[in-house]
Homo-oligomer: A and B are copies of this chain.
Amino acid sequence: MADSTIQIGILGCAEIARKVSRAILISQTATLYAVGSRSIEKAQKFAADNGFPATAKVYGSYEEVLDDPNVDAVYVPLPTSLHIKWAVLAAQKKKHLLLEKPVALNVEEMDVILAACEANGVQFMDGTMWMHHPRTAQMREFLSDAKQFGEFKSVNTCFTFTADQNFLENDIRVKPDLDGLGALGWYCVRGILWATDYELPKSVIALRNPVYNKAGVIISCGASLFWEDGKVGTFHCSFLTNLTMDLTAVGTKGTLHLHDFIIPFEEKKASYISAVECGFKELALGWVPKPSEHTVTTDIPQEVLMVREFCKLVGSIKNEGATPEKKWPTLSRKTTLVLDAVKASIEKGFEAVEIAS
């Protein structure tokens, strides 16, 4: 087994890297092969705390991870502003790339990263874990079933959490030079694009009343999205309100609801509510049929399934000469395109911004 696993190097010791390290450990298809930090002590502590094998390489720089010929792929949880440098370097060193979201500060940077991946034949995937939950696939079937869901018409997503004072003062997500996108809705936009089967909207209008911190980073915002065929979407995201992860999609025949689309309430089972051709009882004294709840169980958490999918693709390239799967970079790029439009709309005083498809 060990021989065929993908050897992963991690750049940096971000909080999220703890979760992904655990996922790599559980995955059985990848190995925690190396970790690099600007501080070797931090890297040593991280490796010790997160189940790295005794043989793992611990480096005092990111460069050394990239220069290690035994590293097949890197997981990059660095702040977004550092992605362009390290993702491009990783690709140039022929390391497959699992890149945390938001993947880039804008689509121009994203395209530089994707071009590097393409030129070097490496797989690109972003770290959006919920894409890999079996619930997501089951919900996708529901949305794609013309008999049950009908024609897609509208979608609303919401992702908020109450950041504490420490987060609001010190987290990379409130620093303009680190994750300068702040609360700008990666998950909300991905949720909307997922729901519409990744059809790009024609235009985007940011909601008024975005909130900035003192450094000028957005910590609360939203937008409405409009498609050529009349579909509409809305989202709201914030660091200032209670943890909420809503997705509601409505079609001519069906409705999908869930309240934990990004991180399920529980690790091993996740639910969603579907409703199909609902009407009223006589005199509208109640609904018939009522929406129904569906529970999807999984022994393997979504982040482990993400690692496995990534390793499967990397393994195919490495062992079978396959070419990189285009689906994942395409989804990341579309998400970034929409986020750019939201940001542009805010900057232009909430004007409509067209999205080039």
Interface stretch (choices A107-115, A120-128, A177-185, A229-237): A229-237
A244 touches B250 (CB 8 A): yes
Q: Within A55-105, which residues are at the interface with B (CB < 8 Å)?
A: none
Cβ of A134 within 8 Å of any chain B Cβ, yes or no, is: no
Chain B residues near A241 (CB, 8 Å)?
150, 153-154, 250-252, 255
Chain B residues near A209 (CB, 8 Å)?
226-227, 230-232
Which residue in B156, B208, B253, B280 is a CB contact (below 8 Å) of A242? B253
Please name the residue on chain B nearest to A276 by beta carbon. Answer: B242
A260 to B273, CA, bound (A): 13
Interface stretch (choices A168-176, A286-294, A318-326, A331-339): A286-294
Chain B residues near A150 (CB, 8 Å)?
241-242
Chain B residues near A154 (CB, 8 Å)?
158, 160, 222, 236, 238, 241
A224 touches B234 (CB 8 A): yes
Cβ of A118 within 8 Å of any chain B Cβ, yes or no, is: no
Chain A interface mostly helix, strand, loop or mixed? strand
Chain B residues near A329 (CB, 8 Å)?
none
Known contacts being A250-B244, A252-B162, is A287 close to B275, with CB within 8 Å?
A: no
Which residue in B18, B156, B275, B279 is a CB contact (below 8 Å) of A283? B18
Cβ of A211 within 8 Å of any chain B Cβ, yes or no, is: yes
Chain B residues near A220 (CB, 8 Å)?
153, 230
A278 touches B156 (CB 8 A): no
* Most B-side CB within 10 Å, residue of A156, A160, A279, A301: A156
A209 to B162, CA, bound (A): 33
A-B pairs with lowest CB-CB distance, top 4: A243-B278, A234-B234, A241-B250, A153-B241
Q: List A residues at the B interface (Cβ < 8 Å).
A: 18-19, 22, 150, 153-154, 156, 158, 160-162, 203, 205, 207-209, 211, 220, 222, 224, 226-227, 230-232, 234, 236, 238, 240-244, 246, 248, 250-255, 257, 259-260, 263-267, 273, 275-280, 283-287, 290-291, 301, 352
